[in-house]
Amino acid sequence: MPKRIGVLALQGGYAAHAAVLQRLGADVIEVRLPEHLAECDALVMPGGESTTIIRLLQRNLLDSAIIERANAGMSIFATCAGLILLSKRISSGAERGGQPTLGLLDVAVVRNGFGRQLDSFEADLQIKGFDAPLRAIFIRAPIITDVGPGVDVLATVDDKVVMVQQGKLLAAAFHPELLSDDRIHAHFLDAVVEH
């Protein structure tokens, strides 16, 4: 039976994630309310605008629902803005801190750590456990500046941490949904959700 994977569909790049998951055989549910989340085996939190997404999460009471499900063992894959929202701390840097987060992933991040839209770039990443490099697209990407003791660093760019895993939480600073290489989503389905 295909896994029912929720894709947070409040704002941002959720349609591209849904397309990748469907290619891999998952049953995708667009999550906008807590009752949608209740139908899911796992959740993908896409990129977008993190301050907008957190306000919509709070307005729709999804923030507490996601925290509750994660604490009960639900797997979550977060990219770019999703990583920011999942993190415990937003460090001061190019962007000021103070934005609320879900506080589930024991990392600190700097928003727009690689710069603004004009500073977007692509890089070949060597991801821990993957046989071959993966091309990654960074768009206004955060940087993970600090990781807690239970966090496994999976990839870096120029010694900057850009992908981590903490138990059933997987997070990337880049946008794997924008290329045809589905290995990260497959890893999430096979190794994180099934773990």
Question: Rounded mean pLDDT of 55-77?
Answer: 95
| Given 36, 40, 95, 175, the catalytic residue | 175
Is 8:45 a contact under the CB 8 Å cutoff?
yes
Whether the pLDDT of residue 98 is over 80: the answer is: no
Q: Give the strand pairing for 105-110 and 143-147.
A: antiparallel
Prediction pTM value: 0.93
Cα-based distances in Å from 179 to 83, 98, 182: 19, 32, 8
Percent of the chain with pLDDT over 70: 92
Name residue 164's amino acid: V
Domains in the chain and their CATH numbers?
4-193 (3.40.50.880)
Mean pLDDT of the chain: 91
| Given 17, 40, 177, 187, the catalytic residue | 177
Is 100:52 a contact under the CB 8 Å cutoff?
no
| Given 80, 95, 185, 187, the catalytic residue | 80
* Catalytic annotation present for 80: yes
Percent of the chain with pLDDT over 90: 77
* Catalytic annotation present for 40: no
What span, in angstroms and rounded, lies between the C-alpha atoms of 73 and 163? 20
* Catalytic annotation present for 36: no
pLDDT at position 128 = 96
Q: Which residue has the higher pLDDT, 104 or 48?
A: 104
